[in-house]
Every structure is written in structure tokens, then in C-alpha cells.
Amino acid sequence: PREDAKVASFAGLRGPKPATWMSHPPATQFAVAEFAVPGRDGADQARIVASIAGGALEANVARWKGQFRANADGGTVEPVLSKIETAEFTIDVVELTGEYRGMGAGFAPDQTMLTGIVPAGNNQQVFIKFTGPSKTVEANREAFMELLRGLKRVEGGK
């Protein structure tokens, strides 16, 4: 694969990614980048969407938590919060697993959302959300964490 196939660039950031993560035009106007992450062993694909927004960590976590339930009978899903310290950033990481409905109407079972929240200045953050079947997210977890750990600011912000 070409070298640039192994680099994700968005929102003034650049970081490593597997060549198998295919960039494509974002599906929503709020996203600045989107990648399709192929499933393994018959699992459906997942997606990574980067966007720039504001809002307190707690408010965003509460909103995402509301998009999940433990199972078809309901029940809340508790987020797992952690931090990644790099030379340039302190990145908040939020993980939720359960039935996920996102912005859609119905819940999909056995889904995971990993979100890296990177400070962007001016009370804004870059949200990098990795969402999809738990099997696909787990198979790509370390590559996603490498992306977050490897993020660097790009000269000129592009």
C-alpha cells in the first residue's frame, strides 16, 4: 500500500492507521472525516467518524450513554472513561458497549463505541468515534488506540 494509505489526516491532525481503513466522504455535514473499518471473520464493518464540536465531557458522555441500552429489556450501560497522555495532548477516551441506536430508530445488538476526544482550542474538541459491531471494534482496538497515541498537529492546521 502507498504510504499515505497508512495515515489519517483530518481537523489539523495526522496519525497512523491501517491501510485497510478506507477513507470516504463523510455521511453527515458535521463530520470532517470518515473511515470504513472492515470486519473480520464474518463480522460487519464498523466506522470511524471525526468531527469538531464543543461541549463538556460530561454532557457528551450522557448523550452517548442515552444511545445505548444493556439489552432488549433495557437497562443502562455505564461508560468506561480513561485518558491517553501524549507529548501534545491529553486525550479523553470513552467506551460504551451494549445495544446501540445512534441517531437511528432501532437498536442494534452487541455494539461498541470508542471515542477519543482531542482538545482543539477555542473550547472545541475533535471527536474521533469508532462505532460498530463489538467483534469488529475489538479486532481493531489496538490500531485505533495507536491512532490516538500517534496523533500530531499538522503545520498550518490542515
Q: Which pLDDT score, from 0 to 100, does residue 40 have?
A: 80
Residues 70, 57 contacting (CB under 8 angstroms): no
What CA–CA distance (Å, rounded) separates 14 from 17?
Answer: 10
What is the model's pTM? 0.92
Arithmetic mean of pLDDT over the chain: 92
Distance, in Å, from the CA atom of 13 to the CA atom of 75, rounded to the nearest integer, reads 37
pLDDT by residue (tens digit) across 28-83? 899 999 999 999 877 899 999 999 999 899 999 999 999 999 998 989 999 999 99
Which residue's C-alpha cell is 474521533? 128
Residue 155 pLDDT > 50, yes or no? yes
